Structure 1
Amino acid sequence: MTPLVVELLVLPQSTELPDADGFLAVAGLFNAQQREIWGNDDFCETPRAQLARLRSTPTRRRQLLVARAGSAQVILGVAQLNFPLTDNLHTGTMNVVVDARARRRGVGAALCAAAEELAAADGRRTLIAETDHLLGGGEGTAGEGPASFIPQDAAASYALACGFRLELVERISRLDLPADGAGEGFPDSAAGAGYELVFWQDACPDALVDAYAQLRQKMSTDAPLGGLDLVPEVWDAPRVREAEGKARGMGYGVLVCAVRHTASGELAGHTVLEVARSKPAVAYQDDTLVLQRHRGNRLGMMLKAGNLRQLGLHFPEVQRVYTWNAEENRYMLAINEQLGFRPIGYAGEWQKELSLD
C-alpha cells in the first residue's frame, strides 16, 4: 500500500466551491458509515448540514484529520475531533470512519494515533469515542451488565484495539408513527396539578432563555454518565442561542416542550425534538430532563407526549422518531416503551486516558 499521509482538512466556506472536493468526500464517508450500520438513510445528512455541524463555535473547536494515499491523494478515512472550550477542558471526542475498501490496511490505526497526538498536544488527557451497533449484530463483548449489549463487531474491536474502555451503553429506540397523524394516540398532554406546559419552535422566548439554559446545564449532570470522566457543562443564554443557530444552519426544525411550576414560575423540565427539513419523514429526540425536586409527578410522560403531539401539528410528514437513553436509565426507558418506542440498536461510549508526556 502507498504510504499514508494524515493531515488536517480545512473546511471550505461552502459546499459549492471548487475547494470543497475533500470535504464532500468526507461527507460521503460519514453517510456511507450510517448506511452500512442501519441499512437506510435515516441518519445521513446533506453535505451542507454536515458543514454546519462541523464548524467550530465559541464553545467547541472541531477539527478533521484525513488519511490520504496514492498519487491522486484519495481520502481513505477521516477522524472527527471535538474539543470543548468552556468546560471539560481535559476531554475531547473522536469519531473515526474508514472507507470500506481501505480497511485492515492500517488506516484506522493511523488516524487514531494522529487524533490522540493532536488531543494530547492540546492538553486533553481523556478521549471519548462512540460506536453504533444494530440490534442483533452478534454476541456481546466480554463481561456482564451494559457491556453485554455491545456486539463483538468491527467497531467494538477497533475501539478495544486502540485502547479504549467501554464506560456507558445507550439504547437506540425508534417510534413508528401512524400514517394518519403523528400527534394522535398519545396520552393527554395536559400537565398535572400545579404545572403547565410551554411550547416553542426553533428559538426560546427571551423571557425564558436564562431558565432554559439552566435546564440544559442540568442535563449534563443529571443524565447517567457511567464511568465517563465528565464535569458539568457551562450553559448560559449565548450558548442557547449558539445551539439554536447551529440547528438553523444545519436545516433543522426544533420543537421544545417545557413544563413550568405555576407557583414558583420555575421551569421544571424540558424535552426537545429535531427534524431535518431535507428529510421530513424522520425526527430525532434530543434532551429530556425533569429537575430532581419535581420528579414523581409524571412530568416526563407529560413532556414527551406533549411534544409528540406538537410534532404531529408542525411536522405531519414525520413517520419515525429516534431516541437515545442510557441503558441504566430505567425510568426514561419505561416512558419510551409506554409511548411505543422499540429498541433498534445500541451506542457504546468508550474512553481512553492519554499520556501528556
Structure 2
Amino acid sequence: MMAIEVRIERLWIPDSVDAADAADFLAAVEVGRKVRMDTWGSDDLAYTPLEKLLELDDPYERQVILVAKIGDEIVGTVDIALPLADNLDLAEFTLDILPEYQRQGVGRQLLEAAEHFAREEGRTMILVDTNHPGASLHEFAPEQLVPGSGQGYVPLGSREVDFAQRTGYTLQHIEQFSSCTLPLDSKLVAELEAEAQEANNGRYRLHHWTDRCPERWLEAVAALENQAGGDAGPDDDSMVFDARILREAEEVTIAQGRRTVVTAVEHIATETLVGLTTISVLAQRQDVVFQDDTVVLQAHRGNKLGLLIKVANMERLTEQFPDARVIYTWNAPENRYLLTVNRQLGFTTAGVTGIWQKELPDLGPSRS
C-alpha cells in the first residue's frame, strides 16, 4: 500500500472566528469535534470554535497546535499545552486523528513533531491521554493494563493503548469519567439533604458565590485549593495558591467568559471554611457543565460534608443556569468517598481516561 503523504504545519490562530484567515482554525476544531463524536457518541466534550479561541488566551498556559494535512484537508491535530507558572518541564498533548485516517501513520508523525517541538521548548516530560468509553472496557475485559499508580485499567487490546505503547509512553494513572443528568430529582435532593444534615448535626453552615470569592474567605479558599492539589505527592511542583493568585485565576476565567458556581462549608464553632466544591460553566455552551475540585479537610471528614456541598451546589447551578442538562466529572478510581457521593447523586460511569507519560532527552543549554 502506498504511504500517504502527510504535511505537518503549525496552525495559525486567527483574531476571531469570523476572520478571513480562520478557515484552518475552524477545520482543526471540527476535527476535535468529530473525534469526540466517534469516541463518546456525542460532542458534549468538544470545543466550539469561539470557546477554543478564548481558551488559547491563557496567561498560565501557552498552547500551540500542530495539524496534519493531506492535500488541503486537515486530518489530525495535536494541541501542545505548556504550563507557564508551574511544572515548567512538562508538556501535555491532546492528539486527535479523524477516524478514517487512523492506523495510517498520521498520528505517529504528528506525535513525533509535537515531541520535537516540546524538546525545543525545554520540556522533557510529556503527558498524553487515551479515552475509553464504558462499552470498550467490557469488550476487552480479559486483557487489562493497570497503571503505575492507583487503581483502574485500560483495555489492552484497544487501538489507543497499542499506539501509546508503541510510541514509548507508559501508563501512569487512570481517571474515571462519569456523567449525571440535570436537574436532579427533587425527591432525591430532599432525601440527600436530610441525610447530610442529620450527619453534621447543625455544626456547619453553607456559603455560596458565583465567579468571585468573597474577600472574607479568600485566604481560606486558597488553602483549600492547595489541599485539593496536595494529593500529587511531595515532589509535585504545581501552582501554590494564595489570595493574589486566586484573584488572578478568577479574572482569567471571567475573561474567557466562563462562570464558576461555588458552595463552601464553614465549621461554625471555629468560623473556618473546611470544604468547598466548584462547577464550571462554559461561555458558549451552558447545557454541558463540569464538576471541578471537591475538597473537605481531613479533620472534618465523616460528617457527609462532601454530599452536603455537592447537592447544594448542583441545586444552585440549576437555579442560575437552567439550560444545564448534564454534568461531567473525572475522579481517581481509588477515591472511594467521592465516587460513593457521586453515585448517590446519580452519576454513572461513562468510561475512563488513561494518563500516559514519556520522558524526553534534555537538549541542554545548547538548545537554540
Q: TM-score, normalised by structure 2?
A: 0.86
**CA deviation after TM superposition for structure 1 residue 240, in Å:** 2.9
Q: Deviations over 1:223-266 (max 9, x none)?
A: xx59x984332223444344434444544332111112334333
Find out whether 1:88 has 2:94 as its counterpart.
no
Q: Is the 8 A contact 2:180 2:347 kept in 1?
A: yes
**Aligned-residue CA RMSD (Å):** 2.7
Q: Is the 8 A contact 1:183 1:308 kept in 2?
A: no
Unaligned runs of 5+ in 2: 364-368
SS in 2 for 1:136: helix
Find out whether 1:125 has 2:124 as its counterpart.
yes
SS in 2 for 1:10: coil
Letter in 2 for 1:20: A
Structure 1 pair 6–150 and aligned structure 2 pair: CA distance change class (3 A): same
Q: Is the 8 A contact 2:171 2:354 kept in 1?
A: yes
Letter in 1 for 2:212: A
**CA deviation after TM superposition for structure 1 residue 330, in Å:** 0.8
Aligned to 1:298: 304
Unaligned runs of 5+ in 1: none
Aligned to 2:106: 107
Q: Is the 8 A contact 1:186 1:305 kept in 2?
A: no
Find out whether 1:316 has 2:318 as its counterpart.
no
Q: Is the 8 A contact 1:90 1:124 kept in 2?
A: yes
SS in 2 for 1:18: coil
Structure 1 pair 277–82 and aligned structure 2 pair: CA distance change class (3 A): closer
Structure 1 pair 273–49 and aligned structure 2 pair: CA distance change class (3 A): same
SS in 1 for 2:22: helix
Structure 1 pair 182–313 and aligned structure 2 pair: CA distance change class (3 A): farther
**CA deviation after TM superposition for structure 1 residue 128, in Å:** 0.9
Residue 212 of structure 2 is aligned with which of 185, 194, 203? Answer: 203
**CA deviation after TM superposition for structure 1 residue 327, in Å:** 0.6
Aligned to 1:174: 179
User: Structure 1 stretches (4+) deviating beyond 6 angstroms?
Assistant: 179-183
Residue 49 of structure 1 is aligned with which of 44, 48, 51? Answer: 51
Letter in 2 for 1:294: H
Letter in 2 for 1:232: S
Find out whether 1:351 has 2:353 as its counterpart.
no
SS in 2 for 1:87: coil
| Separation of aligned partners in 1, 2:339 and 2:61 | 30
**CA deviation after TM superposition for structure 1 residue 44, in Å:** 2.3
**CA deviation after TM superposition for structure 1 residue 113, in Å:** 0.9
**CA deviation after TM superposition for structure 1 residue 184, in Å:** 4.4
Identity of aligned residues (%): 34
Q: TM-score, normalised by structure 1?
A: 0.88
Aligned to 1:161: 166
